[in-house]
Amino acid sequence: MNHAADVLLVGAGGIGHPAALALAAAGAGSLLIADDDQVELSNLHRQILFRDEDVGRSKPEALAGALSRRFPALAVTVLPGRILPDTALDRVSLARVVVDATDNFASRFLIADACRIAGVPVVHAAAVKWRATVLAVAAAGRPCYRCLFEDIPREDAPDCATAGVAGPVCGVSGALAADRAMRILGGDASAFGSIVTYDGGRDRLREVRVAARPGCPLCGEERTITAITPDRYEAYDCS
């Protein structure tokens, strides 16, 4: 398959910035950035590449500009708008690996499903309060995001918007995600099959091997999620 870029970064926020910096510094040649948000003053403490004059601008456009100034050889392309059910498959197929730096469960599950269906590896990165979590998933899963978390929470679950997040923890999450993405690009299969957590309150980094769930609907032997069905996500905000 011919890909338009090495990496598709979904989310130009607190995790996306350190991930993009690390990817560029590590030698990723091309980067796609997808987001539909605008820069706010409250973002600046953790979205480290934005400047005061970026407030009010498109986040992916501002991030792309900052990266281009620092890494002139990096090919950066903005994909306007968020990843939605009707665009997810086409967009994840553009890259060799996807970095999921979104901040809500609906988007994470949508990206997980699209990447498995399209056969593209994905690195899921999250940060809430003082804890960062990163999971790299192979193109065929085994294990995948749904092996661990099964489905979108039906009740309110903490995320960075409701529970807050410490800026440095976003940096750790982004750096770990970039490490996994670069290992995947280099053909290193050891990136898969474990979940990495960082507890900023205790300054502890753990990597734990995880097993595939036999009955997983996304990557199990009798999987049932083989297409992106909008009503699976429509009750939630994929932003």
Q: Which helix (H) or strand (E) holds 115?
A: helix 105-118
| Dihedral of the alpha carbons of 113, 115, 121, 124, in degrees to the nearest 10 | -50
Query: What Å distances lie between residue 138 and 116, 142, 180, 207, 214, CA to CA?
Result: 8, 7, 11, 17, 16
Query: What Å distances lie between residue 157 and 128, 148, 211, CA to CA?
Result: 11, 16, 24
What count of other Cβ atoms lies within 10 Å of the Cβ of residue 126?
25
Phi, psi dihedrals of residue 200, rounded to the nearest 5°: -70, -25
Which tens digits make up the pLDDT trace of 109-125? 999 999 999 999 999 99
Task: Please identify every residue annotated as catalytic.
Answer: 160
CATH number assigned to the domain with residue range 5-232, chosen from the 4 options 3.40.309.10, 3.40.50.720, 3.50.50.60, 3.40.50.20 = 3.40.50.720
Which pLDDT does position 172 carry in this prediction?
96
pLDDT at position 163 over 80: no
Break the chain into its structural domains and give their ranges: 5-232
Average pLDDT, the chain: 92
pLDDT at position 4 over 50: yes
Which pLDDT does position 160 carry in this prediction?
53
Q: How confident is the model at residue 239 (pLDDT cuts 50, 70, 90)?
A: very low
Across 140-164, average pLDDT = 78
Q: What percent of the chain has pLDDT over 70?
A: 92
3-state secondary structure of 223: coil
Beta strands across the sheet bearing 131-137: 75-80, 30-35, 5-10, 95-100, 122-128, 131-137, 194-199, 204-209
Q: Which of 146, 123, 127, 150 is nearest to 197 (CA)?
A: 127
Query: What's this model's pTM, rounded to 2 decimal places?
Result: 0.93
CA 12 – CA 25 distance, rounded (Å): 17
Which tens digits make up the pLDDT trace of 35-72? 999 999 999 988 999 999 999 999 999 999 999 999 99
Which pLDDT does position 45 carry in this prediction?
86
3-state secondary structure of 91: helix
Query: What Å distances lie between residue 97 and 116, 138, 192, 230, CA to CA?
Result: 12, 9, 13, 23
Which tens digits make up the pLDDT trace of 179-225? 999 999 999 999 999 999 999 999 999 999 999 999 999 999 999 99
Determine the distance from the C-alpha atom of residue 46 to the mean position of all C-alpha atoms in its chain, rounded to a whole number.
16
Residue labelled with tokens 């940096």: 171
